[in-house]
Amino acid sequence: MKSRRLYPSLPMVSVGALIRENGRVLLIKRANEPSKGKWSIPGGLVEVGEGVRDAVAREVLEELGLRIRVGDLIGVFENVVRDGVGGIRYHFVILDYFAEPVSGVLRGNGEVADVRWCSPVEAWGLRLTSTTRRLLRQVEFAPPEDV
């Protein structure tokens, strides 16, 4: 069965949570495409009829087993991935929110290859997605001088 994310007829609405605690952020290593093997913030698609803030909380609970308090909207990002002949392989409109953990036991599900709390130096040493790089710069989660 073809994924509805692959070669979509419309852009997909996605949400993400920049979860912060004690000067660190929570990052996941993606187990699936797009960006398989790269690090990003947790999140996923908004379901039909679901509010975006509810989607943020649901995605983090499903992916990581954490209940979060969803904070302010950080920004809206767009990720368009083309194939080798100009077709639109993926198109996501991403709404990213600040969040903080409330309860739960941190563990990844099948969509997450790895998960870790990262300082700025640790985060910028990882193979981050381009949208995560833009997001971290925007919130001044400063990269080391040479990144």
Residue 61 lies in a domain: yes
The string of pLDDT tens digits covering residues 121-143 is: 999 999 999 999 999 999 988 76
Is the pLDDT higher at 7 or at 16? 16
Residue 29 lies in a domain: yes
- Dist CA 46 CA 94 (whole Å): 10
Residue-by-residue DSSP string for the chain: ---TTSS-SSPEEEEEEEEEETTEEEEEEESSSSSTT-EE-SEEEPPTT--HHHHHHHHHHHHHSEEEEEEEEEEEEEEEEE-TTS-EEEEEEEEEEEEEEEEE-----TTEEEEEEE-HHHHHTS-B-HHHHHHHHHTT-PPPTT-
The string of pLDDT tens digits covering residues 89-111 is: 899 999 999 999 999 999 989 88
Residue 3 lies in a domain: no
* Mean pLDDT value across the chain: 92
- Domain of residue 71, residue span: 12-138
The string of pLDDT tens digits covering residues 45-61 is: 999 999 999 999 999 99
Report pTM: 0.89
pLDDT value at residue 140 = 86
Residue 147 lies in a domain: no
pLDDT value at residue 108 = 87
pLDDT value at residue 1 = 42
CA distances from 139 to 73, 112, 135 (A): 11, 24, 6
Residue 44 lies in a domain: yes
Q: What is the CATH number of the domain that holds 84?
A: 3.90.79.10
Name the pairing type of β-strands 88-104 and 12-21: parallel
**How many domains is the chain partitioned into structurally?**
1
pLDDT value at residue 25 = 97
- Dist CA 32 CA 118 (whole Å): 21
Asked if pLDDT for residue 17 goes beyond 60, the answer is yes
Q: How confident is the model at residue 11 (pLDDT cuts 50, 70, 90)?
A: very high
